[in-house]
Amino acid sequence: MTNFKNKTVWITGASSGIGESLAEEFAREGARVIISSHEATELERVRKKLEPISKEVFPVVFNLANPDEVKTTAEKVLKEYGRVDVLMNNGGISQRSTVIDTPIEIDRRIMEIDFFSGVILTKVLLPKMIENGYGQFGITSSISGKFGFPLRSAYGAAKHALFGFYGSLRAENSSKGIKVTIFSPGRVKTKISIHALEKDGKEHGKMDSGQAKGISPKKCARKMIRAMKRGRKDVLIGGVELVMVWIHKYCKWLFYRIVGKIKAA
């Protein structure tokens, strides 16, 4: 079973929600934790919150939407900290708009943040991980990455793409000490629906009723770390909503009937 003590763990999307809870749990594990998002004030809040647990929590501010900044930041992190043993590719943004109403600029923005930013980080970090003979990737996808769902076309596409990319990475590098765990959370009580993009690029501004009843970020983070310790590869996390994944897999006609009745508005 993997031990994260003294490992260097880099978490994106760490200023709130699942990322913040991951930072706390890894700090309790004895890891050196690098926390990132574009929100400097919130990252500093998280650092101060975790100070009684660990003095080894370091904020690194950058914007996942800027590919040049993502690459430069990854190079700086490697230079300053010497290594990254674990990348928690957790940062992202959701969507609340129909295919027909969503301009391509919004699709590209979501894809840049939710997919390409993690790819860039991975391509910078992977060679050093292989050189060290150890590296672990924890990838936050979504059950929306398992199947299409109303108002989530770009989001679902980006989350689905993570499976293709990191599945290939795992297959190519498992013999070199590289591990990949892809998580598909269902409803987790975070701010993701509040910050989700609508067709005009503005934030949705409210929490979905189903999400408000979701599991806590802390519970989600603990399940994620437990799964990584055990070397699991494809992990569902959530509550009763996860039944949709199994219906989609084993009873597609029923899945399409259910999804077809959901109002895209």
This prediction's pTM: 0.95
Q: Kindly report the length of the chain.
A: 265
Domain ranges of the chain: 8-260
- Homologous superfamily in CATH for domain 8-260: NAD(P)-binding Rossmann-like Domain (3.40.50.720)
Supply the pLDDT for residue 2.
82
Q: Does the active-site annotation cover 155?
A: yes
> CA 221, 159, 117, 61 torsion: positive or negative?
negative
Q: Output the six-digit token pair for 257.
A: 């009937």
Supply the pLDDT for residue 212.
87
Supply the pLDDT for residue 264.
59
How is the beta sheet containing 57-61 ordered, strand by strand? 57-61, 32-37, 8-12, 86-89, 135-140, 178-185, 234-237
Axis crossing angle, helix 217-229 with helix 17-28, rounded to the nearest 10: 50
Out of 155, 166, 250, 256, which one is annotated catalytic?
155
Supply the pLDDT for residue 209.
83
DSSP letter assigned to residue 240? G
CA distance 62 to 84: 17
pLDDT tens string, the chain, 265 residues long: the values are 789 999 999 999 999 999 999 999 999 999 999 999 999 999 999 999 999 999 999 999 999 999 999 999 999 999 999 999 999 999 999 999 999 999 999 999 999 999 999 999 999 999 999 999 999 999 999 999 999 889 999 999 999 999 999 999 999 999 999 999 999 999 999 989 999 999 999 989 998 888 888 999 999 999 999 999 999 999 999 999 999 999 999 999 999 999 888 775 5
> Residue 10's beta-bridge partner residues?
34, 87
